[in-house]
Amino acid sequence: MSSSDLSFIDLFAGAGGLSEGLTEAGFHGLLANEIIPEYAQTYSKNHPGTKVLTADVKTLDPTQILNELHIEREELDLIAGGPPCQGFSINAPVRTMLDERNHLFKEYLRFVDAFAPKAVLIENVPGLVSFEDGETLHAILNALAELGYGADVRILGAAYYGVPQMRWRTVIIGLRGKNVPALVFPEPVYHAPIRPNFTATFNGQSLVKMPAPETDSNFVTVYEALSDLPPLKNGEQGKPIKDYHSEATCDFQKRARTGSIGVVNHEAPRLADINIKRLQYIKPGGNWTDIPDELLPRGMKFARKSDHTKRYGRVDPKGLASTILTKCDPHWGAYFHYEQERSFTVREAARIQSFPDHFVFTGTQAQQFAQVGNAVPPLLANAVGLAIKSVFSEVV
């Protein structure tokens, strides 16, 4: 099966992190749906060959879309997406009726039923596994089974696949009419200092994919991810397209720069004077505990030194970044640059999420940060896509 034969649609697509990784793995996106216009605009700009529907998924007719795409039922290779799942449980009827998220997951199933793709891919937060004592996850797997899909679930650490941050995602993969082999979930290729801080077992089975003992590659560091980007001062905007600070020094940078015309989305947010004062006391790898008490926010002056260990953090260049959120606000995480007196730019957050530099984010800076933080890391999506491809070549 050639790469050009592999087709997919992406529901709840966001700015397109999942699609970016699947495209790099050799899948061709036919359609994406995203309700937030700014996210959909970014998706369209970076995936011009994909039809993008900016609409509430509940208003879409999957049978009509199937016809418009000129494909037959059971012809599509993959439906991918991150539908909200936490409200979906057959054992909580009152919650099911009232929780809008449940209806959104039903919309995902409605597309699966209409398209009957060869495979389905669902990504979500690790907390899905323990939500409602696992009943929600049981309900999801049962719903897929009723549609004819053998399905299984794993929790993947993004750092194990070359993403330079502490991020975990729950991944559910289903195959039409097939049991899911273990190899459909990608094997970790890097060692990384990450540990699950969530429920990691389901039906008595550990869901976390750990590196094999023979894995000899170390994780990608923050320094390797960011060191070739041009330095900025606090609040500095500069040219829309900037030159790189240096030649690419590692494989991560070489990959990031493939197809790039320069550095975009790289403008430093302006920190308040009080945060600049606080930053002067924080060493690389340090956090709020380095700040003198008189400069701390009122609510943190009485906090235990062992709490909130990422707040007002300056990343360790030799380590991993903390999880990129929808706001790189130093009050909530380690988002101070390791040597420059400022917080991360959108491009630096995107690099830490493993987006390539040719991927351009649109909208306001706040909207761009939200798009980056909500995205699936493309390198993780790429690993999952390649694993699904390997199964297709054997069993589909």
Residue with tokens 């509430």, as numbered in its chain: 56
CA dihedral 327, 329, 333, 337 (to 10 degrees): 110
Q: Are 334 and 349 in contact (CB under 8 A)?
A: no
Does 250 qualify as catalytic in the annotation? no
Neighbours of 90 (CB within 10 A): 12
Instruction: Evaluate whether 195 touches 232 at the Cβ level (below 8 Å).
Output: no
Q: Which of 32, 85, 122, 172 does the annotation list as catalytic?
A: 85
- 364 CB contacts (<8 Å, ≥6 apart)? 38
The 8 Å CB, 24+ separation contacts for 245-253 are 249/224, 250/220, 250/224, 252/162, 252/164, 252/220, 252/224, 252/225, 253/224, 253/225, 253/227, 253/228
Tell me if residue 21 falls in helix, strand or coil: helix
| Cβ–Cβ < 8 Å for 78, 27 | yes
From the list 34, 181, 176, the residue with the least C-alpha distance to 113 is 176
| Total residue count of the chain as it appears in this document | 396
Instruction: Output the six-digit token pair for 20.
Output: 């970016």
SS3 at position 97: helix
Helices (H), the chain: 17-24, 37-46, 62-68, 93-98, 100-115, 135-146, 222-226, 251-257, 273-279, 346-352, 365-374, 378-395
User: Is the CB of residue 138 less than 8 Å from the CB of residue 168?
Assistant: no
CA distance 221 to 23: 25
Which positions are annotated as active-site residues? Answer: 85
